[in-house]
Amino acid sequence: MFKRKSGIFSRIVIVMLVAILCGCIILPTRVYAESKDNIYYMGDFAKKGEGYSDNKKMNESDVHYGWDLGKFKISGFTRRVTDSDNNNVFLKNVGDQVKLQFELEQDIDRLNNNEDLAIAEEPNGYDNYFGISKDNWTNFGRGALLIKKTDYQNKTTYIQPYTNYLSGVTKGATTDITFFEEGDYEVALDYEVVKKSFLDIAGWRPLDSDTNYQIIARFSVRNGNCMIYPFDAVTGNELTNTSFTNNGFYLDLANSRYLNIDVKKQNLIEKGDELVEDTRFNKPASDGERFLEPGVYNIIAKNIYTNAITEKKIYVGDDPVLKAYVTTGRSVKDIKKMVGEGAVIEENGTITLSTNEMIQPESSRVMHDVPFVYIIVVIISFVAIVLIAIVLVVKNNKKKHIKKEGVDR
Q: How many angstroms separate the CA atoms of 101 and 230, rounded?
A: 38
Q: How many angstroms separate the CA atoms of 350 and 361, rounded?
A: 6
pLDDT at 89: 96
User: Looking at 151-273, which runs of residues are DSSP E strands?
Assistant: 156-162, 174-180, 183-195, 209-223, 229-232, 243-245, 249-252, 260-271
pLDDT at 396: 66
pLDDT at 405: 52
> Which residue ranges in the chain fall short of pLDDT 50?
2-3, 5, 15, 18-19, 21-35, 364-374, 407, 409
Q: How many angstroms separate the CA atoms of 36 and 172, rounded?
A: 23
pLDDT at 179: 87
pLDDT at 189: 97
Residues with Cβ < 8 Å from 386, sequence gap 6 or more? none
pLDDT at 206: 60
Q: How many angstroms separate the CA atoms of 309 and 175, rounded?
A: 38
Question: For the chain, what are the domain ranges?
Answer: 1-33+371-409, 34-223, 229-367
Tell me the CATH architecture of domain 34-223: Sandwich (2.60)
71 and 43 Cβ atoms separated by less than 8 Å: yes
